[in-house]
């Protein structure tokens, strides 16, 4: 599709705006969602093919649920019952260079945070040429408060490598596990 999502332009007399006519360069297969506060920023620029497919699948699933409603009165309740409000796990991801940070050093740095229940770490395994790449490591928590406490380590260092944590979804972990091998460590 060549269309873009733009609150600023909305629907024009000529239809939806073209993603190729906006301020930021875009590839044909990419989605374009214009940031209303920074017109040069495509909010969907980092959305992967798998991510786009997940979004489309969920939209179709939701449409099916909404279409199954017997009346408009029960529509809101049906929608609410279909939504999952509480995640089962809480994740942080951190880009790591496997030659500069070991799994043991990573787990040890995270274990230094006080008052955190046991959690697990998924750390990338060096594989051939991937050993020189920067890849995502994950910390998986059972409670949001524990994720927040560990997130406070953001911008600290393991040796010369700065930790930059980002909250992420389970989908980010699933995508990473499909793309490479990870070892699992329990942190207590």
Q: pLDDT tens, 156-176?
A: 999 999 999 999 989 899 989
What confidence category does residue 184 fall into, taking pLDDT thresholds of 50, 70 and 90? very high
**How much is the pLDDT for 77?**
77
Residue 179 has which token pair? 């793309």
Phi and psi torsions of 178, nearest 5°:
-75, -25
Confidence of residue 141 (pLDDT cuts 50, 70, 90): very high
| Predicted TM-score of the model (pTM) | 0.71
Tell me what pLDDT residue 7 has: 82
Predicted confidence (pLDDT) at residue 101 exceeds the cutoff of 80: yes
Average pLDDT over residues 47-67: 87
Q: How many CB atoms lie within 10 A of CB 77?
A: 10
Q: What is the pLDDT at residue 62?
A: 83
Is there a contact between 142 and 150 (Cβ–Cβ < 8 Å)?
A: no
With tokens 């906006």, the residue in question is 22
Q: What values do phi and psi take at 143, rounded to 5?
A: -135, 135
Count of residues making up the chain:
188
Residue identified by tokens 């991937």 is: 130
Question: Which stretches within 21-169 are classed as H helix?
Answer: 49-67, 75-82, 103-111, 144-151
**What is the pairing mode between strands 38-42 and 90-97?**
unpaired
| CA of residue 102 relative to chain centroid, distance | 23
Give residue 11's pLDDT band: very low, low, confident or very high (50, 70, 90): low
What is the pLDDT, as a whole number, of residue 129?
A: 64
Residue 79 to residue 144: CA distance in whole angstroms: 25
Distance CA 33, CA 126 (A): 35
- Strand order across the 119-124 sheet: 165-168, 90-97, 134-141, 119-124, 182-187
CB 48 within 8 A of CB 175: yes
Q: Quickly tell me which residue has 């942190």 as its tokens.
A: 187
């Amino acid at each position: 599709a060549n269309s873009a999502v733009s609150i600023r332009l909305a629907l024009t007399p000529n239809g939806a705006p073209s993603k190729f006519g906006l301020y930021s360069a875009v590839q044909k297969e990419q989605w374009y969602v214009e940031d209303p506060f920074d017109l040069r920023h495509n909010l969907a620029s980092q959305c992967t093919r798998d991510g786009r497919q997940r979004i489309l699948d969920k939209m179709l699933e939701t449409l099916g649920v909404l279409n199954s409603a017997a009346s408009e009165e029960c529509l809101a309740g049906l929608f609410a019952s279909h939504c999952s409000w509480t995640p089962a796990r809480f994740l942080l991801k951190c880009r790591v260079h496997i030659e500069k940070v070991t799994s043991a050093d990573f787990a040890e740095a995270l274990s230094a945070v006080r008052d955190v229940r046991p959690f697990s770490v998924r750390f990338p395994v060096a594989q051939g040429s991937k050993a020189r790449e920067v890849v995502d490591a994950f910390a998986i928590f059972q409670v949001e408060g524990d994720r927040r406490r560990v997130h406070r380590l953001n911008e600290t260092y393991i040796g010369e490598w700065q930790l930059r944590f980002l909250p992420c979804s389970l989908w980010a972990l699933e995508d990473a596990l499909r793309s490479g091998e990870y070892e699992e460590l329990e942190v207590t």
